[in-house]
Amino acid sequence: MNFKTVKIFLTLFGIISLANCTDQATASQTDGVSVLPSNASSEEASEQVGVKRWNSVEQVALGREVFTQNCAVCHGAQAQGIVGDWREKLDDGSFPPPPLNGSAHAWHHPQEVLLRVIDYGGEAMGGKMPAFIDVLEQDEKLAAVAYFQSFWTDEIYQQWMQMGGTN
Ligand code: HEC
């Protein structure tokens, strides 16, 4: 029990030390205004404001419930991750659950791949993520994706679209 408490504290410190990264990724979420890179031309800038997403607000709301119940224990309530550095292997050689809020590399994977990870988990690749294929309905999986993507800046979202996104 005590060990668990200590672990939670260490984890919290981990989050705080990562805060510089994650704050940036979530900034646009909290105030609803996207943060533009300072070198963006005004033309680029106007394209970046309020980029249209594939999902609806309702999907994000459902996704919050799905995520809280099924994913938050490993990925953090706001998909911020709960383990220090997602790039560093744990003692057993597996990777910790990465943040999904845009600060790690989930946005490198097109929708199809994200859904495949949720369906089959990471066990086939020597990972620890469980499979959700028999646990969640398709609309719930999509909603979970919509939820963690709601933390992505428009800039990250656009890069994701360029790398495959929903195509
Ligand atoms: C038991 C812990 C655990 C749970 C619960 C869990 N995950 Fe994961 N997840 C991981 C780990 C660990 C990885 C890294 C790959 C691996 O080791 O399997 C991962 C990887 C991912 C990735 C790939 C991220 C990337 O950057 O490539 C996505 C997407 C993902 N999880 C989404 C979810 C969603 C959505 C849920 C809930 C439906 C969920 N996970 C539940 C542990 C978990």
| CA 69 to each of CA 66, 87, 159: distance values in angstroms, whole numbers, following the listed order | 5, 25, 29
- Indicate which atom in ligand 1 lies nearest the CA of residue 94: 17
pLDDT top residue among 25 and 105: 105
C-alpha span between 24 and 152 (Å, rounded): 9
Q: Which pairs with CB-CB distance under 8 Å and at least 24 residues apart come from 134-140?
A: 135/70, 136/66, 136/70, 139/62, 140/62, 140/63, 140/66
- Side-chain-facing half-sphere of 8: CA atoms under 13 Å: 6
Give the per-residue pLDDT at 141. 98
Which numbered atom of ligand 1 lies nearest the CA of 86?
14
Higher pLDDT pick, 66 / 49: 66
Q: How far apart are CA 76 and CA 99, in angstroms?
A: 8
- Cα 159 to ligand 1 centre (Å): 21
Of the candidates 152, 129, 143, 153, the one whose C-alpha atom is nearest the C-alpha of residue 64 is 143
Atom of ligand 1 at shortest distance to CA of 135?
38
Residue 42 alpha carbon to ligand 1 centre in Å: 37
Predicted local confidence at residue 125, as pLDDT: 72
pLDDT tens sequence across 51-65: 999 999 999 999 999
What ligand 1 atom has the least distance to the C-alpha of 127?
17
Nearest to 153 by CA among 14, 35, 63, 4: 35
Of residues 148 and 48, more confidence is placed in: 148
What pLDDT, on the 0 to 100 scale, is given for residue 161?
97
Whether residue 20 has pLDDT greater than 70: no
List the structure tokens of 94. Answer: 């597996």
Q: Is 76 in the pocket of ligand 1 (CB under 6 A)?
A: no
Report the range out of 6-15, 17-26, 105-114 with the highest average pLDDT. Answer: 105-114
- Assess whether the C-beta atom of 114 lies below 6 angstroms from ligand 1: yes
Nearest CA to ligand 1 atom 20: 97
- Residue 110 near residue 166 (C-beta atoms within 8 A): yes
Higher-confidence position of 157 and 42: 157
